[in-house]
Each structure stands twice: as structure tokens, then as C-alpha cells.
Structure 1
Amino acid sequence: MEDIPTGILLISLVILLIISAYFSGSETAMMSLNRYRLRHLANEGNRGAMRARQLLERPDRLIGLILIGNNLVNILASSIATILGLRFFGDIGVAIATGVLTLVVLVCAEVTPKTVAALHPERIAFPSSVLLKLLLKVLGPLVTVTNWITSGFLKLLGVRNVSSSDALSQEELRTVVHEAGALIPANHQEMLLSVLDLEKVTVEDIMVPRAEIYAINVNDDFKVINRQVIQSPHTRVLVYRDTIDDVVGFIHLRDALRLQSKNQFSKSSLLRAVKELYFVPEGTALNVQLANFKRNRERIGLVVDEYGDLQGLVTLEDILEEIVGDFTTSMMPAPSEEIIPQQDGSYLVEASINIRDMNKEMNWQFPIDGPKTLNGLIIEYLEEIPCAKTSLRLAGYPVEVVDVADNMIKTVRVMPAFFKQPEQSA
């Protein structure tokens, strides 16, 4: 190499630095690619994306190839720089060449190309994938040997699987949705997040409690039954005998009104028109129940406990409302109808309100891992049925019991203006 003209050595050094910059930039660009966008582009037939995706299927081989090429180039550049240093500056030229080459490599072959590649990964990765794929074929045996040795060290460290994984956990997917910003409208983000939350919510959280189910007693006077059918706010109504625990089935108002129009509506015809009951075990997660409704082609079910006792009623619409928000035909009153703001900043709240609905409507943080209603939460906290004018601090909120009747708390006053951090005991 000492016989090679200085000009050729300088040109060779510049070329090697450019190659080093290529390897450095390619490594950063390939590793900075958005794997989901890459998959999308590859599925659309983008050849650059297809090549990059194929290379990234084995990141150990790709990294091995790039590092082998980069190290070979840098070592050769160091040798040429040492010869040039000796020619220009004598013995001290070795130290000068080392210092200058380190600075040049750091700025021109490392920081600059890697920064550009991180900012524009697709522009760098897709074109460079052509050469990387060719080099992988040429240097394949050397890469294989290097990876074999590396795999041995990795096994010693407990690393067995070197293939890449693009799977996202639910929390990671939730972060992706949050960070989508203007790419996904706010209402769409809320729906996507609601879908992710379905497995955390059970049918008891959204069901209509048995005491609030609109139902027809088939043993009532026929005029009462007829009036209930005409005035029903729902398209499907539960039919029972004497007690709600002795349920018969569901009657679709369309069938009842058709019988009325033909003057054939009677108790016997009503019983013949009822549909078979569909039962849902309590504790069923909403995502499971949604799939069950679809599989069984049902839209409404009765929630029962482990003893088979009726607890409430859940519909397909209730589950969909958890995703898209309230419909106009909800089976329960909207939270805003149960929460009345007062001039002093407090709120009069019907104690039978569902705590999840109340928290969602008012952005409060009452606990939801226990009783489902505010009445139940207060009684559980006090361990007794309180008298009117009883005051307490519940989950950090000052609460006053306003009205108690029939062994139930009917109305409470919540004062969020005096809210403090939730206490551990509440």
C-alpha cells in the first residue's frame, strides 16, 4: 500500500467514509421504520417496503451484515489514514490521523447519516434495501458464522428467540390511539378505547336492575296489560306471572300490536306470542357477551346469579352504548336526568344511579369495583342504612344523605367543589 499514490489513497479514504455513512444510515433507517406502516405499504405492493420487511424478519442477520460491512470499512479507512498521516507528518502523523479520522467518522459517517435516517427512515431504508439484500447474498456465509457465534453468547444470556415481534399489548395499543392525534377523530378514538375496555366491564355494570325492569304481569287485569303494551317505551317487554322471578318470556310489541289490530289480542294469544328466554351468567365480560349475542342471534338477556335468581336485564344496545355512547332509546334514564345541579355548586343525585354512568357523566372518581349504585356504595361504606341529613366523605367527596325511604337511600347531595384526594378507606 506504500507504493499507492497519495491521491488514490485520499480518494479511497473518502469513498470508504461514504460507505461507512451508508451502513450507519441504513442501520438507523431500517430500525426506525414504523412496522405497521411498513406492513401496510408491503401489502399494497411497494417493492421497497417488501424488501425492507423481508430483511427485518431476521434482525440478527441484518444487524450482523451491517456491522460486518461497517467494521471492515472503518478498519480499512483507519489503515489508509495512518499511511497518509505518516506520509504528511512523519511519526506524529499516526496520532494526528487517529484524532482527525475519529472526528470525521463521528460527524460525517455516524451522527449526520444516522440523524438524517432517523428523520426520513423510508427514504433511506427502501433504496438501501436493494444493496443490503445483494450484500446479504454475497456475505451470507460470513454473516451466518458470525450469527452462529453470537447466538451462542445470546443463549448464555438467556435470549432464545431472535426474531422480531410486532404484537402490541392492549396498553400499547391504547397509547397508539391516544397519540394518533388529528389522524383519528376524537369520537373515533373514544370508540376504539371503549372497545378495549369491554373486557374490563361486566354485564352487572350496565344491566337494568330487576327492580327497574319494565315488565307485564300476565295475571293482571287485561285492561292493565293492554295499556302497558300501548304505553311501553321498549320494543321488547318481559312477561311474568305474579312475581318477576316467575318469568315467561319476552313479547315483541310488533307481535302484540298486530294481534290488537286483528282484534285477537288476549292473555292466551299473548302467551303464545312470547319468545324464549335467554339467560346470561353474572360476571360475564362485555366483550364475551357481545360475541355470545352474535353467536346465539339474541339481542336481550336476563342476568342471573349462581343460584339462578334474576338480577337484571342486559341488551345488545346496552353493550353498543358502551362503545358509541348513549342512544336516544336507552333502557335507563340518562345520568343528566338523575343529577340536578344546585346554585351552591352541589348536585342532587338519585342514589339509584349507576356509579359508572355517574362518573362518566360528571368526570368523578367514585369507586366502581364494589356496589354498582350510589345507594349501595354509601350503605357498604357506613355498614348500615343511614338517616336523612347524614354526612360523610366518600372517595374524597363530601356527601350528604337527603332522603331515605323503603330501606333505601333515595337522594344524596354531592359537593365536588370541596373535593380532596380520595381517602384510602373509601
Structure 2
Amino acid sequence: MPDLLNDTPLGILFGLLAFLIVCSGFFSSSETGMMSLNRYRLSHKAKNRDKGALRVSRLLERPDRLIGVILIGNNFVNILASAIATVIAVRLYGDAGIAIATALLTLVILIFAEVTPKTLAAMHPEKIAYPASLLLTPLLKIMYPLVFLVNAITNGLLKVMGVNQNDSSNDQLTPEELRTVVLEAGAMIPRRHKTMLLSILDLESMTVDDIMIPRHDIQGINLDDPVESIIEQLQNCQHTRLILYKGDINNVLGILHMRNASRFMARQTPTKEDLLAEAREPYFIPETTPLQTQLLNFQRLKRRIGIVVDEYGDVLGIVTLEDILEEIVGDFTSPMSGHNDEIKPDGNGNFEVEGAASIRDINKTLDWALPVDGPKTLNGLIIEHLEAIPEAPVCMSFGPYRLETLEISGNFVQKVRCKETPKGKKKNRP
């Protein structure tokens, strides 16, 4: 081999050296391109029968073999290039050419066969990996015996080191990692869809007491009331379902659908027993139930409304299927719910907010970030902050948000003027 190289004209040697450097760049870029591919996009294209994606998917089924053929090819061309460069340098500069060849070839390979092709492949992995698979597939078949031998040795070493090659846990995304993928998707996912996906991920960290309609806002039928009063309430009701209780809201007897209420009111002499017969048995939910779990429970039990209770069995509020869905897709209920009237602009850049308004609703409506890890309502937040029930109008700040009580009735803050300071707006907005 050395005699053959020594007898070869310099022009041919230079051409062969350039070809080997190109081959080295090909193997380097192929390795980076294959490893940098978006596996989920690749899987999607493969399911759609994209030929390039199918070839790459087959190669990536055994990454040890793919890396084996790439590294064998890369090392072979680099070693051969080193030998040719040494011969050229010795013929041009004598013994000093060995040092010259080492320095120059290292620089050339670093720039043209490593950094540049790998950077290009990292930026455009699909444009590199798909065409490269056309050459790597037959190369793997041709070099399979050598690749098999090298892989057998390396896999044996990995097994001795306790590495499980069949462990695919690293290929699975955690919820937080999936959240990052969604956030970094940019314009590829519409903003509304992105918001819905993030809301679905948030369901696991939220419980039913985060979104429930509190106890004092529940509209129900007290069976201790006269039948005439009950009928009048049913006629004026704007809800689809009502809670039936006797004496106290903690004594819930059933859940009445207005469709069944019409049959009750159609009777000639309706009685409370007839009304209770039209109702469905109550469905109770622990306050700590995650929203994701409750959504599945609603689906499994074919229910649309549940009564939230604490550890003592006392009623805290109600939660509906629509409440959970609104956490995902946004508000779609009619203004009859009254929630749209809880937050009103006053025309001066401020908002007049009902004390019973949910902090989560305020944050969603105004795009604020009031604390939600404590009290659920604005009234509760103010009382907790003051550690007392205010007896006169008072101002307070929660970060960039300024709150001023306007109306106080007994032990309840009825109305609050809220404002976000200009400094807070600048800080919170992207």
C-alpha cells in the first residue's frame, strides 16, 4: 500500500484526499442529522407512508447498528485520509511533512468534515438525514458482518456496565416536557389550540374545589317550602339542573333536571313526593378530586353535575361537566350564569369586581396573576391578607395589583375596585 501511494501522481492523491474529506463530512453530518431528528414528526410522516421517513425509521429501529456503520465508515476514511496526507506532505517537504500533514489535516477535517457539516445537520436534520438514508441503508447491508461484530462487543461491554438497551423510558415525555414542546411549537400550533393543550395538562394539578360554584351561590329547591313557592321557582329557573334539599343545603336529597320538572308541573295536584320522584340521586365528590379524574368519572357515570363535599361530608359547592370543559376550551356558557357581570370596567382603567368573584375567573378575564393557592374568592383573598374583616374602605396591593374595597356588608366584602399599575403591565406583558 505505501509503495502504491508513493507511485501515485500527486494530482490523484490530492483528489482522493478531497474525496475522503467529503466522505468524512457525509458520515459526520449523517450521524448528527439522524440523532437530531424530531422523533414525533418522523413518526407522523412514517405513518403517512413518506418514503424517506420510512427508511430513516427502519435505520433508527436499531441505533447501535446505525451508529456502528457511520463510525466505521467515518474512522476508515479519516485514517485513510491521514495516510494519504502524510504521503503527500513527505513527498513535498521531506520528514518535516509529517508534522505539517498532521496540523493541516486536523484543521481541514475539523472545519470541513466535522464542525461545518454537523452544524448544518443540526439546523436542518431532515434535509440531511433523509437523503443520507439512501446511502446508509445499502452500506449497512454491505458492512453488516463487521457492524455485527463491533456491536456484539460494545453491547457486551454495556451489559457488563449495567446499561439496559431496551429501556425506552427516555423516549417518553413527562407532562412538564410536553408543556415545553407545546410552548416552543411557535406558529406551528394556533394560539387557541396551544391554550387548550396547556389547559388539559393543567387539569391534573387542579382539583374540583378550584372551579366549583361555592355553596352560597348554589340555587336549589328547599322541600320545606310550600308547593306553590316551589312551582314558582321552577317556572322562573334559568338553570338546567337544580339541587333538591330539605331544610339545609347539607341535606341534599336529589338532583332535578328541568326536563323532568315539566312533567311534575303538568300534574293536576303536584306534591313534593312527586317532585322528589322525578329527581335523580345526588352524586357527591370529594373536594380534593383532580379535575382530570373527575372528567373521567363524569364520562364513566354518565353524570353532568356533582356536589362537592369536605372530609366531614358538608357541602362546599357544586361542579358541572361544563365547568371542567370551560377550563379547556374557555367560557361558552350564556350570560344567564351571571359570571359576566362580576367584573365591570369603570371607564377609568379600573375594574369593579364583586367580592364573590372567583380569583381564577378574574385572572382569566383580566389576564392577571393574583395568587390562587389560598382563598378561592376575592373576598377571601382580602380578608386573609388583612387578617380581619374590614370595617371601612381600605386599599392594599398584591404585587402589581391595587385593590380598594368599595362596599362592605356585615362580614363580606361586596365590591372592590381593582387596578393593575403601569409598572405591572410592562412587567407582565411579553
Comparing 113-122 with 270-279, greater Cα deviation is found at 113-122
Q: 1:397 to 1:122 in 2, by over 3 A?
A: closer
Comparing 133-142 with 232-241, greater Cα deviation is found at 133-142
- The answer to whether the 8 Å contact 2:46/2:57 transfers is yes
Identity %, equivalent residues:
53
How much has 1:127 moved relative to structure 2? 3.2
Structure 2 residue identity aligned to 1:302: I
Q: Is it true that 1:133 corresponds to 2:134 in the alignment?
A: no
Comparing 298-307 with 210-219, greater Cα deviation is found at 210-219
How much has 1:245 moved relative to structure 2? 1.5
Q: 1:122 to 1:162 in 2, by over 3 A?
A: same
Residue-by-residue CA offset, 1:32-54 (whole Å, 9 max, x unaligned): 21111111112222343223223
- The answer to whether the 8 Å contact 2:220/2:243 transfers is yes
Partner-residue secondary structure (3-state), 1:415: strand
Partner-residue secondary structure (3-state), 2:171: coil
How much has 1:318 moved relative to structure 2? 0.4
Q: Is it true that 1:193 corresponds to 2:194 in the alignment?
A: no
Match of 1:166 in 2: 171
Comparing 234-243 with 9-18, greater Cα deviation is found at 9-18
Residue-by-residue CA offset, 1:107-159 (whole Å, 9 max, x unaligned): 43234433443344223322322432343344445445545665677679885
Match of 1:390 in 2: 394
Q: 1:254 to 1:248 in 2, by over 3 A?
A: same
Match of 1:318 in 2: 323
- The answer to whether the 8 Å contact 2:400/2:421 transfers is no
Gaps of 5+ in 2: 426-430
Residue-by-residue CA offset, 1:72-101 (whole Å, 9 max, x unaligned): 111111101111222233333333433443
Residue-by-residue CA offset, 1:305-359 (whole Å, 9 max, x unaligned): 111111111100000011111123378432x411233355433221111111111
Match of 1:16 in 2: 20
- The answer to whether the 8 Å contact 1:59/1:162 transfers is no
How much has 1:247 moved relative to structure 2? 1.3
Name the CA distance, whole Å, in 1 between partners of 2:419 and 2:132. 63
Structure 2 residue identity aligned to 1:2: D
Comparing 283-292 with 18-27, greater Cα deviation is found at 18-27
Match of 1:229 in 2: 234
- The answer to whether the 8 Å contact 2:264/2:278 transfers is no
Q: 1:64 to 1:106 in 2, by over 3 A?
A: same
RMSD of aligned Cα (Å): 2.7
How much has 1:289 moved relative to structure 2? 0.3
Comparing 221-230 with 114-123, greater Cα deviation is found at 114-123
Q: Is it true that 1:364 corresponds to 2:368 in the alignment?
A: yes
Match of 2:3 in 1: 2
Name the CA distance, whole Å, in 2 between partners of 1:79 and 1:72. 11
Structure 2 residue identity aligned to 1:193: L
Match of 1:35 in 2: 39
Instruction: Kindly tell me the number of residue pairs found equivalent between the two proteins.
Output: 420
Name the CA distance, whole Å, in 1 between partners of 2:336 and 2:325. 13
Q: 1:329 to 1:134 in 2, by over 3 A?
A: same
- In the superposition, the TM-score normalised over structure 1's length comes to 0.89
Q: 1:136 to 1:389 in 2, by over 3 A?
A: same
